[in-house]
Copies of this chain bind each other. A is one copy, B any other.
């Protein structure tokens, strides 16, 4: 009698665990999600500053949507979107990258193809205009995944990508932030989340996922410090079987918890929804203030979440949905 009762209680649970859920919304033909970093507080920005970031994110979104709507690949959309954001001095990636402890700029980026799990990354690049494109070349032109520092520079020369001098990356805003940070002279061991990292994740009409991330890192970071952005599994991950993810925040925490891969693992092994997986990590693994995560799953479901004062973000899909936001939901 008891086992019979248990059976009636358990069978519906099993059905859920097997994924026999209420009908899913129609899968999207394409979907794209973008971030421009977590940790900025729009309440502390001028209206003009908010408008400028929103306008840039909207342009980036349009670039990605145009690529995907014409049947382009998610990889191309991710690279084009991130190149645009790298070229925009408003973000801490490419032009606008922050200063390290030595007053230099060292740039990190990674990209991953969810179809093949091919991936490429560069860290501590110093004269590369668009690190995301060099990361893609590491993926397609070498047998390696990650090239750093002088090796990345040398490879940039071999690939004849656009080069710039360090002065190119300069922005007054990043310089002022560095001056402020280096004169704080705190002995605090806690890392402050970098602001303005950029990333993109997309599903294309061929059913392929891709993700990428690009950053100048943390203001006043030690020379040679590498955060999560160029680390596949930490800052970036894409797998057609699950989802595509790009992270932004205190890189060390994202590496420690293998955040980008962990989201994929929660979908694959626990059957979590994308939204629930990202929520669980931001609330139970990461600490308040650590950062944000954007992701898209294989059906085109999008999530953009953070545990900071804000997350610069934008998203769109083939249903006509389009959104650009900086602040948290009220």
A-side residues, CB < 8 A to B, are 3-4, 6-8, 10-11, 14, 117-119, 123-124, 142-152, 154-155, 188-191, 221-227, 231-234, 237, 251-252, 255-258, 261-262, 265-266, 269-270
Contacts and interface: CB of A to CB of B under 8 A. Distances in A.
Nearest to A116: B256
Instruction: Give the oligomeric copy count.
Output: 2
Contact of A261 (B10, B155, B258): B258
Contact of A255 (B232, B251, B265): B232
27 contacts: A3-B8, A7-B7, A7-B10, A10-B11, A117-B256, A119-B255, A119-B256, A124-B148, A142-B189, A142-B222, A143-B189, A143-B252, A144-B225, A145-B251, A145-B255, A147-B224, A148-B148, A149-B150, A150-B223, A151-B222, A151-B224, A155-B224, A231-B233, A233-B234, A237-B258, A269-B269, A270-B270
Nearest to A237: B258
Chain A, interface SS category: mixed
The 6 closest A-B pairs by CB, nearest first: A151-B224, A7-B7, A149-B149, A233-B258, A269-B269, A258-B261
A291 B297 CA distance: 30
Give the one of A6, A144, A155 with max B CB within 10 A.
A144
A144 to B, nearest CB: 5
Nearest to A226: B146
